[in-house]
Amino acid sequence: MIMFARYADHIFPAIQSLDNFYCRQHENGYICREIIESDGSDYIFLDRKHTINPPLFSWAEVESYRITGDASRFKSVLPVLEKYAEWLELHRKKTNTVHGLYWQTGLGSGMDNTPRDGSGWVDMSSQVVMQYRDIAFICKELGLKDKEELFLAKAKLVSENINKYMWNEEDGLYYDVDDSGNQLKCKSVAAFWPMLAGVSNTNQNERLLDNLKDPHSFWRTVPFPSLAADHKEFKAAGQYWLGAVWAPTNVMIIKGLDKVGEDENYENPNFYKNPEVFNEFAKLASAKYLDAIYSVLKQTGTIWENYSSEVYARGIPSAPDFVGWSGCGPIQLLIENVLGFRPDGANNTLNLHLTRIDEHG
């Protein structure tokens, strides 16, 4: 929600909603993913192991700052984020394994019924890298050089292990791993988190792009199915994370493409000679996704929790009036990728990436 609500922070101060979680942080650093509104207690569904959301608090703080230019929160949230990172190291890093990476559950990851298993999850491990890099950015803005370098070093170490154990050169994808470091080949959108996290190199990014463009797996009528269409457990109707299209993972993929396309150090491409091809594909995917959202809106009169990847229809099952994250499409992706506006609140500038030749803006 913060990814699109930050565009109207003067009306709805969305980033402040994270304070509801920060103020309920336990002494050991743990933050439950759901808080009972009536009394502020943790909401436990099934088991505590499912109660950790993807560790993206720091990403939300930094991305909000990039639009608003307001760094006033950094000093107060840094201790919270540091304690949270410490808890994750103790309780989500898989010790006594070959890889030493990070684990999640389907519910905890947000991909409730994903058919994945293993002790090292590629999405969770990549999100830890993002967390460390974003905390390092916050430290840099606060002039904390030593801490900045510490967190960058942590990010580098995790990145190296992700590439060492999770990258599959033959398939051009990242996979989860078991305790022994064996890859568990479940072809899902989780494979693309390393692109957004800055873990993948030029060759890997190009291979990931090839997979995204593959009409047999991820480049469907509506991009991008949560489980590849050529996976044995793929469901055309969606069945939640067995093939439905979801806003959070679409934003992850599209912003990962943007990150690569805007990399000034893009070197030695094996095939894609111009990194702008990543931006062009991000624009195309955004437009295709928005066409589906708009078509289903005209049919049903509402925005849905998820969508079918095979036809212009809501996913089954899918909840209506679900702007909470599906609003990322018609707001964030429309502004940034279809129209091409890139606000930079920190420098008080507005950049326009010209992506259209018709009248727009």
Q: What is the pLDDT of residues 215-268, one digit of tens each?
A: 999 999 999 999 999 999 999 999 999 999 999 999 999 999 999 988 766 555
Q: Is the pLDDT of residue 272 over 60?
A: no
More confident residue, 85 or 324: 85
What whole-number distance in Å separates Cα of residue 283 and Cα of residue 277? 10
Residues 6+ apart with CB under 8 A from 39: none
Between 1.10.1660.10, 3.30.365.10, 3.30.420.480, 1.50.10.10, what CATH number should domain 1-200 receive? 1.50.10.10
Q: Is the pLDDT of residue 355 over 80?
A: no
pTM of the full structure: 0.95
Read off the pLDDT of each residue in 200-226 and give the average, rounded to a whole number: 97
Residues 6+ apart with CB under 8 A from 292: 221, 222, 245, 307, 312
Instruction: Give the least confident one: 47-51, 307-311, 335-339, 353-357.
Output: 353-357
Q: Return the top range by mean pLDDT from 28-37, 109-118, 211-220, 348-357.
A: 211-220
Structure confidence by residue, pLDDT tens digits, 113-157 = 999 989 999 999 999 999 999 999 999 999 999 999 999 999 999
Q: Is the pLDDT of residue 171 over 80?
A: yes
Residue ranges per structural domain of the chain: 1-200, 205-361
Read off the pLDDT of each residue in 51-75 and give the average, rounded to a whole number: 95
In the prediction, which pLDDT does 356 show?
73
Task: Tell me the pLDDT of the chain averaged across its residues.
Answer: 94
